[in-house]
Structure 1
């Protein structure tokens, strides 16, 4: 499956669920693991070669292409007890590979499950050997993803992370111009943040949703879903030329905006007859409005070459 956007951030001192569903794997192209180096040690040119265009935490000199799995999918490994350091609730991987093969005792990967960490195992790419196996899960078409509910990834309390990543994509796509979010879920999620990051003006670019089962409203910028299996951006079948600029968004968050459960499951007209009491749960309503994660916003911007532009670097350096 595509690398989950949730890697863009975490919630501090909170136990997180597994990053990936059981039976899935993803590959992280970025280096990961110790030794870690500070940006001033590496230099801007070397950092850019690694895909980091603005300082954001330490840079890893670990291996690239680690294979990510859910911890429960691991077999035939055991913990290296001398490498199980963490903050307070588990292991955070600070000591490097902490899983060893039970057959040869060689380190093969790193398990992380501490607070503020997505629960995941990162396998060292050199330790992974691809063997014959049953066919991989077929790639689902967009219509099938919608019909089966596969776009809903149970974001729960972590919707602010993909929202922050989407906010960064919108700001870059706008090129410094003012943006007006379409009324409704888009404005509720991103409108306030966009108003604080970008200038106001009459010639604002309109931001709206577009995608499978939703249509293609008239807009300058269109938030469209990223396929959860392939990482491909949804593409409109037809449209005017040049058409809106397509802005990638996590598919689960996109589905929650395009087809919000607490809005689409209510009856369109009327209500219960007098004297009849409801005996099923009410549709789920968010406890509080989701605000984009600024950590995920900066994480995403730091990995985009556009952040080197002066106007955008100013926004980035403010810390927002």
Structure 2
């Protein structure tokens, strides 16, 4: 188990938690409906952000040559963090011994609490230790500040690491639609991140997607972004991973292990395209049941219903953020797609 505490007084700040990979939807903003989104992590787990976070913030125009690349950015943003790495994400219910300080709560939020700096303090000594987020359209979260918190106990946690076979049995994935019929925010985030990797890996060449369900997720947006008339050899995108045959395409949509962050290996020259486990698992093994009572059989090549509608929209902000961290975004054709999203202004549109 891992337990975090206050760096100033060593007071305990969390229940025992197990480390998992930082999910792509960790800081997702989805829509503008009342109420916050579900926490990014399940109870009893934590994830570490390996990238800089929080102040000081640097405006893009003020950066020295090479400074953005050193911080992991390859395309312009409004501003980027040059703060410390190692911010820890927790489900809010796993926090103990820390309280919200009204004097530290930002007034920039809408319906709840948001902020780029700590708004929770250690209940024992008053040191600012965490950021609590529960504003509308944002993931409920607590982010521990890396400079004022540290690990005070580290051992096997409550969630043992599963191998790939156990993941298939015990983590069946998440359906693309919510109970109310709308799109699940996790799917929008997962598809946005995978789409950035897919474009970067494709080299701008046409992409063929034989699997109807995978095509339902990616084909419409690919066509809108890259447009028709692309030249060059066609590259085939196939599903690959545990429980599936070896990849027989040029590009392989592979799962990322939700606990370790490990990517399913594929042999060159196949090029991997990572996708969050919960979306990959559903695409790889879920098939809609055939209608009952049909006198005419459905041919195997007929498309099967996967998506709830209306038209699926990957998360554009996550797409741009992931794309900006890939060196391939420097290719002129891909930079043009990135620039259409206006990621370095206060307006936003990409799809």
Tell me if structure 2 keeps the 8 A contact 1:209–1:223: yes
Alpha-carbon distance between aligned partners in 2 of 1:30 and 1:133, rounded to the nearest angstrom: 22
State the match for 2:114 in structure 1: 92
State the match for 1:179 in structure 2: 207
Alpha-carbon distance between aligned partners in 1 of 2:177 and 2:263, rounded to the nearest angstrom: 20
Cα pair distance change 1:287/1:194, threshold 3 Å: closer
Residue 290 of structure 1: CA displacement? Answer: 2.5
**2:53 counterpart SS class:** coil
- 1:77 matched to 2:98? The reply is yes
- 1:36 matched to 2:64? The reply is no
Residue 133 of structure 1: CA displacement? Answer: 5.2
Alpha-carbon distance between aligned partners in 2 of 1:271 and 1:212, rounded to the nearest angstrom: 34
Alpha-carbon distance between aligned partners in 1 of 2:211 and 2:232, rounded to the nearest angstrom: 17
Counting only pairs closer than 5 Å after superposition, residues 139-288 of structure 1 correspond to structure 2 as: 139-149=161-171, 151-152=173-174, 156=178, 157-158=184-185, 159-198=187-226, 199-201=229-231, 203-236=233-266, 242-260=268-286, 263-264=287-288, 266=289, 271=293, 286-288=308-310
Alpha-carbon distance between aligned partners in 1 of 2:53 and 2:150, rounded to the nearest angstrom: 19
Alpha-carbon distance between aligned partners in 2 of 1:214 and 1:50, rounded to the nearest angstrom: 37
State the match for 2:347 in structure 1: none
Alpha-carbon distance between aligned partners in 1 of 2:173 and 2:338, rounded to the nearest angstrom: 31
Tell me if structure 2 keeps the 8 A contact 1:306–1:312: yes
- Structure number with the higher helix fraction is 1
57-66 or 292-301: bigger deviation: 57-66
Gaps of 5+ in 1: 273-282
State the match for 2:10 in structure 1: none
Alpha-carbon distance between aligned partners in 1 of 2:306 and 2:50, rounded to the nearest angstrom: 37
Tell me if structure 1 keeps the 8 A contact 2:216–2:307: no
Cα pair distance change 1:150/1:130, threshold 3 Å: farther
Alpha-carbon distance between aligned partners in 2 of 1:19 and 1:183, rounded to the nearest angstrom: 29
Residue 234 of structure 1: CA displacement? Answer: 0.8
Tell me if structure 2 keeps the 8 A contact 1:109–1:121: yes
Cα pair distance change 1:235/1:121, threshold 3 Å: same
Residue 60 of structure 1: CA displacement? Answer: 1.9
Cα pair distance change 1:44/1:255, threshold 3 Å: farther
Residue 285 of structure 1: CA displacement? Answer: 6.5
Alpha-carbon distance between aligned partners in 2 of 1:303 and 1:9, rounded to the nearest angstrom: 17
TM-score normalised by length of structure 2? 0.78
Cα pair distance change 1:49/1:153, threshold 3 Å: farther
State the match for 2:21 in structure 1: 2
Residue 197 of structure 1: CA displacement? Answer: 3.0
State the match for 2:339 in structure 1: 317
TM-score normalised by length of structure 1? 0.86
Q: Which of the numbers 292, 304, 307 marks the counterpart of 2:326?
A: 304
Alpha-carbon distance between aligned partners in 1 of 2:32 and 2:65, rounded to the nearest angstrom: 32
